[in-house]
Amino acid sequence: MPIFPGLVRYDEVANGKIQHAIRFTLPQSQAAMVPPASHWAATSSNPIAPPMGMNLRLKASYDISGFSANVQVILTALKKYGMIMADNGSAMYLSGAPDDRWDNNDLHNLSQVPASAFEVVQMNPIYTAANVPQGAAPSISSFTASPTSVSSGTQVTLSWQASGASYYVISPQIGAVRGSSVTVTPTQTTTYTLYATNQYGRTQASVTVTVQ
C-alpha cells in the first residue's frame, strides 16, 4: 500500500477533520493479506496473528472527551474510518507525517487508548498462499536504445513495447515512467533496466548504451 495516503498530517488535524483511514503497525503478522493490502510480510506462524491490511475501528462508545481538540480529531477519524495495518513494527503505532508544528507530548496521549477499545472490521476476503489470485506477469516484447553508442552528453531515446503492466520503472536514476519512451543523456556507459510490474509479478529487460 502507498504510505502517504494513510499518514496523519498536521494540516488535516488543524483543519479539524481527517477523512481517511490511518496506517498503523503491529509487531507480528501472518502470511496473509486483506485488501487494500497487496502483500504480506509474515513475522509469525501463529494462525491468529493478524493479516496485513487488517482494519481496526475505534468503538463508537469510547469516550474521547478528555483528550485535547487535536487528539480528538485523530480519534474521531479512527471511529469513522479506522486504521489499516500496513507494516510490521511497534504495537498499535500510528504513522504521521513529520511536522515541526506537532505537539509530541500531546500526541503521546494517544497511547492512553487501549487496544480493547478497538474492534476488527469484517475481513473478506483474506488471501493466503492457498488462494491468492493468480495471473500472468507483464510481458516486455522489446526494450531498445537509439542510438546505442554515443559521445558523453548526447541524448538517447529508450523505447519499449510491453503489455499487462500496472506501472513501469527504469533504473538507474530515471524512476517511474509513462508512455513507451523516454530520453536520457548518459555521461558514461550505462545499462538501463526496465521493470514492468502488476499485481502478479514483475518482468525486466535491459539495454546498454556505450559512451565513447
Quick one: pLDDT band at residue 96, thresholds 50, 70, 90? Answer: very high
Number of domains in the chain: 2
What integer best gives the mean pLDDT of the chain? 94
The 10s digit of each residue's pLDDT in 54-65 is: 999 999 999 999
Q: Which three cell numbers stand for residue 162?
A: 510491453
In a domain, 128, yes or no: no
CA distance 126 to 3: 21
Judge if pTM exceeds 0.75.
no
Domain extent, residue 149, equals 139-211
Residues 31 and 70 in one domain: yes
In a domain, 193, yes or no: yes
- Cα dist. 94→24, 77, 82, 83, 114 in Å? 4, 12, 11, 8, 13
At residue 132, the pLDDT reads 86
At residue 2, the pLDDT reads 75
The 10s digit of each residue's pLDDT in 152-202 is: 999 999 999 999 998 899 999 898 898 999 999 999 999 999 999 887 889
In a domain, 126, yes or no: no
In a domain, 9, yes or no: yes
